[in-house]
Structure formats: structure tokens, C-alpha cells
Amino acid sequence: MESFAHELEVPGREDARLRILGRDDWRIEYDLSRVADVPTWTMYAPDLTEELARARAEHNVAASAAGVAARYIVEEAGTALGTAGFGMRGDRDFEVFYAMKPEGRGRGLATDAVLTIVGWLRRQGEQRVWLSTLDGNTASERLADRVGFVRVGAGVHTDGRPITEWLLTLPTASAPSDR
């Protein structure tokens, strides 16, 4: 893969787009770290200070430049409602991640953001995308089902909590279903 897309339109949603997180976009990281269930279910630390949120944004920019991971802001009508992205898993595949502010939830925007990312990865020739969910995260499990991920295994998070591994097998970009 040569480089990550800087902006992705969300099919079927005129007002929505995914915009790659830049170093000035620390505020969404700051805000998400204050949403009660985001630190519970993701790698966001709770209650980031501005300094730590800025460092996290810098880290995202560096990871994207290195081709290791891309984090996008999920925007609707110019408002940042969450983040979604993907990072390398092992040396060949990518896994997706996502988190939404409460006002961005419950209307399929997170699902569409993940579908947008998955579609882009498929067009780059990726054939598999992974997802890990901490057991008990039913909102994320429902999203995984909607996107088409299937449960393929179980594991343990770094803190000892059980996780479920999900896999999405993508049709090749030249398949008839590619439109």
C-alpha cells in the first residue's frame, strides 16, 4: 500500500466524511477520553489532559506517516462525532477500531464509517480485515455483525480481560460485486 487516504466520503451520507486526524485535532481525542464507555472498551486512556491529547494526535500523525495506522475523524456537517481507523495486525493484515461520542451514536454512522474504511481497504487489494472486541461490548458486537465480521476466536486483552476476535473476508477488488 503506497499511502493512506487523507479523506474518504461516506457512501449514502452527503454530510459525512472521514478526515485523517491531524496534529491540530487533539480535541476529539480529549473529548472521547471523557466518554464513560470509551476508555472501558478501547485503548483510550480516561480523562486525557490537553497535553496528552496533543501527544496522542502527534502519535496518530506519525503512525500514519509510517504506514502503520490511520485514524480518521468521523465528521458530519463539519462536526467531529468520533474516530475510526485501522492499524497493522502482524505484518500483513489490518484491524479496525472506532469510538463515537454519544451524540454520534444510534443512527448507523459508526457502522457506515467502518464500511467506508473496509471498502477502501478492499480497493487497495486487502483480503482480510480483523477486529477485536472486549467481551461484554454488545454495541460493538452488533456493529461487527452489521458490517459482516464473523467470530473466529477468543483471546486475552493486555489487562487480562477476555476478547473475541472477528474476521471479515473481503471479495477481491475485481469481483463482480465491486461497484
Q: 495486525: which residue's cell?
A: 89
Q: CA 53 to CA 38: how far, in whole Å?
A: 14
Measured from the Cβ of residue 177, the count of other Cβ atoms closer than 10 Å reads: 7
Q: Is 100 in the site for ligand COA (CB under 6 A)?
A: yes
CB of 99 to ligand COA, least distance (A): 4
CB of 16 to ligand COA, least distance (A): 11
Q: Is 107 in the site for ligand COA (CB under 6 A)?
A: yes
Q: Kindly determine how many residues on this chain lie close enough to bind ligand COA according to the rule CB under 6 A.
A: 20
One-letter amino acid identity for 15? D
Q: Please, what is the Cα angle at 157 between 152 and 163, to 5 degrees?
A: 30
List, in sequence order, the alpha helices (H) in the chain. 26-32, 37-41, 50-65, 109-123, 138-147
CB of 97 to ligand COA, least distance (A): 6
The answer to whether the Cα torsion of 2, 72, 36, 14 is positive or negative is: negative
Q: Is 16 in the site for ligand COA (CB under 6 A)?
A: no
Quick one: which of 11, 46, 67, 108 contacts ligand COA (CB under 6 A)? 108
Stretch that binds ligand COA, among 52-60, 72-80, 133-141, 153-161 (CB under 6 A): 133-141
Residues of this chain that bind ligand COA (CB under 6 A): 37-38, 41-42, 98-100, 105-111, 133, 137, 139-140, 142-143
